[in-house]
Amino acid sequence: MTRIVLAFMLVMAFQAVSADVLIIDEVRQADRMELPKNGQNKATVEAKFGTPLERLAAVGDPPISSWKYDTYSVYFEYDLVLFTVLHPGAVIEK
């Protein structure tokens, strides 16, 4: 019984380590990607990155809107980029 518990613990530890590696790989890949930068306006983003798949209307005060692309979303405050967020698991090169 003790061997089964030990084997289970080792398997779980290995899975945790490999998950950390995937997150690190995703962050490294994101650093190499060309993404919209903070402070760019909507016209610049659309000219450089193309038309988004979806445009979500602004909500709140100040108004925050977002554009969805294949592997990331861009969030705007008024007309300026606040930040770009990668979609989970969408950017890992295989």
CATH of the domain at 17: 3.30.1450
- Residue 20: inside a domain: yes
pLDDT at residue 18 in the model: 47
Contact indicator for 38, 82 with CB cutoff of 8 Å: yes
Long-range interactions of 17-22: CB distance < 8 A, separation 24+: 22/92
pLDDT at residue 61 in the model: 94
- Residue 52: inside a domain: yes
Question: Would you place residue 88 in the very low, low, confident or very high pLDDT band (cuts 50, 70, 90)?
Answer: confident
- Residue 12: inside a domain: yes
Contact indicator for 80, 92 with CB cutoff of 8 Å: no
Range of the domain at 22: 2-86
- Residue 92: inside a domain: no
Residue 73 has pLDDT above 90, yes or no: yes
Residue-wise pLDDT for 16-52, tens only, equals 544 555 566 666 666 678 899 999 999 999 999 999 9
